[in-house]
């Protein structure tokens, strides 16, 4: 019988000291509760219910796209048992086991959830929960067992005696219940230090009803870390990053000083990718076989095809780099920068909505915005496309094998036809025909002997010619 999952995510997360609801804080680019939702579906859940409260609308909107996902609102945050009770109208009568997880515990593995369901099924228990042992159990509920090792109860830190606080086996907040859950939930009271309805009180209630409560201990303490504070968020991030790096290295990626590399779960890497220290890979970045990314480059939603190269300190956002093309060091590729095979972008070049054709080059200090550069063309140092007239953006069209001399200003809309040549320092505001030479600058004037005369006169400034 397939299970359903309830994710508790209504709390504000006071200890985060943030205006943003805790479960929406990003962990490697994705909101915390997003991990819980994905894991729930990946575990085979037929139905997933998220209990929302603080930032309810925001949470709902963020995950609107998931089918079989529903939300219930907990108006007042009266505790985890009260939160779970809100899901009753949606799940009462659901035939399978009900799994409950917490929106602030993002790294729980799929196998751990299915393992818990399996543990309950095999033992014939009414309730199953995960436990884990921590060297520092501070902040978690402690698990009380009898001499035979049977679970008796969970005690929250606030309510615990000093002896109970010394217990290192804790409750990570992942449970599985049979369908008697809803009637038992009504028996939970709020007579405790926090004045809250504690979900783990169900351990006692199931036992009092004569039903078995069993546990499954997780040996991977990293997966069950809860996020209550910024420091815990950083810790969870560290665990997830270590997981991702280890995975990609096992897939053939070379990382130099891996502990300095940041990458998000949505990134895809091919074998023989090389990442130098300090590289940041975000969003739907995809790197093909043999791609090398230099130190401190930042790539967001960027595709680099096999054999492409990004040199150090380059920043790419929604860019596309074909094979044998390269960018950097210190290049900036903004959205819709597109380098075709063998194209080259060098230092201090910025591209936005601009395409460099095959083997085209912009080696240094240029701005290409809303521009098309044909195959084999060369953009000199200091070339600028003036694409914005203060109101609208205009395109610059550069054909094949065009040479644009250094420090030229191309005022868009303008077209430089195939094979044309722009003399350095030109200000181009008219189309240039095929194979033409365009010069658009003041002619140089040499004044013979001027400096010599000035030196002998010794007074006049060169700005006031004789
Ligand atoms: C809870 C457990 C504790 C366990 C720990 C594991 C209880 C009483 N305590 O404590 O035993 O060791 O998790 O991480 O359950 N929430 C609601 N509505 C509420 C209260 C909380 O939806 O009224 C949600 C929160 O958004 C959060 C989750 O439930 O995602 C847990 O709440 P939190 O306040 O973080 O509980 P802990 O103190 O961590
Ligand atoms: Ca918590």
Rounded Cα distance between 158 and 317, Å, is 47
Could you tell me if 331 and 317 are in contact, meaning their C-beta atoms sit under 8 angstroms apart? no
Could you tell me if 328 and 362 are in contact, meaning their C-beta atoms sit under 8 angstroms apart? no
Could you tell me if 36 and 101 are in contact, meaning their C-beta atoms sit under 8 angstroms apart? yes
> For residue 23, what are its two tokens?
């479960």
Most informative mutation of 24, 37, 51, 102 for ligand 1 (most atoms within 8 A of CB): 102
Cis before residue 213, ω within 30 degrees of 0?
Answer: no
CB atoms within 10 A of CB 344: 20
Minimum CA distance residue for ligand 1 atom 22: 10
CB atoms within 10 A of CB 64: 9
Distance from residue 215's CA to the centre of ligand 2 (Å)? 19
Rounded Cα distance between 319 and 297, Å, is 13
Distance from residue 193's CA to the centre of ligand 1 (Å)? 14
Give the pLDDT of residue 6. Answer: 98
Q: Which residues have a Cβ under 8 Å from the Cβ of 21 and sit 6 or more positions away?
A: 9, 11, 12, 13, 54, 55, 58, 59
Considering only the C-alpha atoms of the chain, give the largest distance between any 2 of them, rounded to a whole number of Å. 114
Q: Looking at the CA of residue 170, tell me the nearest atom of ligand 1.
A: 12
Q: Map residue 433 onto helix, strand or coil.
A: coil
Distance from residue 245's CA to the centre of ligand 1 (Å)? 30
Distance from residue 225's CA to the centre of ligand 2 (Å)? 9
What ranges do the domains of the chain cover?
4-217, 230-438
Q: Looking at the CA of residue 82, tell me the nearest atom of ligand 1.
A: 23
Give the pLDDT of residue 192. Answer: 95
Ligand 1 contacts (CB < 6 A) are 8-11, 23, 51, 53, 74, 77-80, 82-83, 102-105, 140-141, 154, 156, 170-173, 198-200, 226, 228
Q: From first to last of the 466 residues of the chain, give the pLDDT tens digit.
A: 799 999 999 988 899 999 999 999 999 999 999 999 999 999 999 999 999 998 888 888 888 888 889 999 999 999 999 999 999 999 999 999 999 999 999 999 999 999 999 999 999 999 999 999 999 999 999 999 999 999 999 999 999 999 999 999 999 999 999 999 999 999 999 999 999 999 999 999 999 999 999 999 998 888 999 999 999 999 999 999 999 999 999 999 999 999 999 999 999 999 999 999 999 999 999 999 999 999 999 999 999 999 999 999 999 999 999 999 999 999 999 999 999 999 999 999 999 999 999 999 999 999 999 999 999 999 999 999 999 999 999 999 999 999 999 999 999 999 999 999 999 999 999 999 999 999 999 999 999 999 999 999 876 565 665 5
CB atoms within 10 A of CB 294: 21
> What homologous superfamily is domain 4-217 in, according to CATH?
Spore Coat Polysaccharide Biosynthesis Protein SpsA; Chain A (3.90.550.10)
Angstrom CA distances, 276 to 259, 288, 302, stand at 11, 16, 17
Hey, what CATH class is 230-438 in? Answer: mainly beta
Ligand positioned closest to the Cα atom of 171: 1
The single residue listed with the structure tokens 């200091």 is 382
Residues in the chain: 466
Minimum CA distance residue for ligand 1 atom 1: 173
Minimum CA distance residue for ligand 1 atom 29: 8
Select from 206, 229, 208, 257 the least CA-distant residue to 98.
Answer: 206
Give the pLDDT of residue 221. Answer: 82
Q: Is 54 exposed, middle or buried (0-12, 13-18, 19+ CB in 10 A)?
A: buried
- In degrees, to the nearest 5, what angle opens at C-alpha 83 toward C-alphas 90 and 199? 115
The DSSP symbol for 38 reads: H
The single residue listed with the structure tokens 């369908």 is 179
Q: Which residues are catalytic?
A: 364
Could you tell me if 413 and 432 are in contact, meaning their C-beta atoms sit under 8 angstroms apart? no
Give the pLDDT of residue 64. Answer: 84
Q: Which residues have a Cβ under 8 Å from the Cβ of 403 and sit 6 or more positions away?
A: 377, 378, 380, 420, 421, 422
> For residue 225, what are its two tokens?
């870390």
Could you tell me if 293 and 310 are in contact, meaning their C-beta atoms sit under 8 angstroms apart? yes
Could you tell me if 111 and 119 are in contact, meaning their C-beta atoms sit under 8 angstroms apart? no
Give the pLDDT of residue 370. Answer: 98
Distance from residue 294's CA to the centre of ligand 1 (Å)? 42
Q: Map residue 182 onto helix, strand or coil.
A: helix
> For residue 310, what are its two tokens?
């990004």
Distance from residue 206's CA to the centre of ligand 2 (Å)? 23
The DSSP symbol for 443 reads: P
The β-bridge relationship of strands 320-321 and 337-339 is parallel
Q: Looking at the CA of residue 81, tell me the nearest atom of ligand 1.
A: 15
Strand ranges in 178-311 using DSSP code E only, listed in sequence order: 213-217, 254-255, 262-263, 268-269, 274-275, 280-282, 286-287, 292-293, 298-300, 303-304, 309-310
Give me the residues near ligand 2 (ion), CB cutoff below 5 Å.
Answer: 104, 226, 228
CA atoms within 13 A on the CB side of 412: 22
Minimum CA distance residue for ligand 1 atom 37: 140
């Amino acid at each position: 019988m397939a299970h359903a999952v309830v994710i508790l995510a209504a709390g504000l997360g006071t200890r985060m000291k943030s205006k943003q609801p805790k479960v929406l804080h990003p962990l490697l680019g994705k909101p915390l509760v997003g991990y819980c939702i994905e894991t729930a579906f990946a575990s085979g859940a037929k139905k997933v219910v998220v209990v929302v409260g603080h930032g309810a609308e925001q949470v709902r909107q963020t995950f609107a796209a998931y089918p079989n996902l529903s939300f219930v609102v907990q108006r007042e945050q009266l505790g985890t048992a009260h939160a779970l009770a809100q899901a009753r109208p949606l799940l009462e009568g659901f035939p399978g086991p009900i799994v409950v997880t917490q929106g602030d515990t993002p790294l729980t593995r799929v196998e751990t959830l299915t393992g818990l369901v399996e543990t309950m099924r095999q033992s014939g228990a009414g309730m199953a929960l995960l436990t884990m042992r921590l060297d520092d159990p501070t902040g978690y509920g402690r698990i009380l067992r009898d001499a035979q090792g049977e679970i008796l109860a969970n005690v929250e830190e606030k309510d615990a005696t000093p002896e109970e606080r010394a217990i290192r086996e804790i409750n990570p907040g992942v449970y599985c219940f049979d369908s008697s859950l809803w009637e038992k939930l009504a028996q939970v009271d709020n007579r405790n230090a926090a004045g809250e309805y504690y979900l783990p009180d169900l351990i006692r209630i199931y036992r009092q009803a004569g039903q078995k409560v069993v546990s499954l201990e997780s040996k991977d303490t990293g997966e069950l870390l809860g996020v209550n504070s910024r420091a815990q968020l950083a810790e969870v991030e560290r665990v997830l990053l270590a997981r991702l790096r280890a995975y990609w290295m096992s897939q053939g990626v070379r990382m130099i000083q891996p502990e300095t590399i940041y990458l998000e779960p949505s990134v895809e890497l091919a074998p023989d990718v090389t990442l130098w220290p300090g590289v940041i890979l975000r969003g739907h970045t995809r790197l093909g076989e043999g791609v090398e990314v230099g130190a401190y480059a930042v790539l967001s939603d960027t595709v680099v095809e096999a054999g492409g190269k990004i040199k150090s300190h380059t920043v790419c956002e929604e860019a596309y780099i074909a094979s044998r093309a390269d960018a950097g060091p210190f290049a900036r590729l903004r959205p819709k920068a597109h380098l075709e095979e063998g194209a080259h972008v060098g230092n201090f070049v910025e591209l936005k909505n601009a395409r460099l054709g095959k083997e085209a080059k912009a080696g240094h200090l240029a701005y290409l915005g809303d521009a098309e550069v044909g195959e084999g063309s060369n953009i000199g140092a200091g070339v600028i496309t003036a694409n914005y007239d203060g109101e609208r953006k205009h395109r610059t069209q550069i054909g094949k094998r065009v040479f644009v001399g250094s420090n030229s200003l191309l005022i868009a809309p303008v077209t430089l036809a195939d094979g044309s040549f722009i003399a350095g320092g030109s200000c181009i505001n008219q189309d240039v025909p095929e194979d033409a030479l365009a010069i658009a600058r003041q002619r140089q004037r040499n004044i013979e002997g001027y400096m010599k005369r000035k030196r002998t006169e010794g007074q006049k400034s060169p700005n006031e010619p004789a």
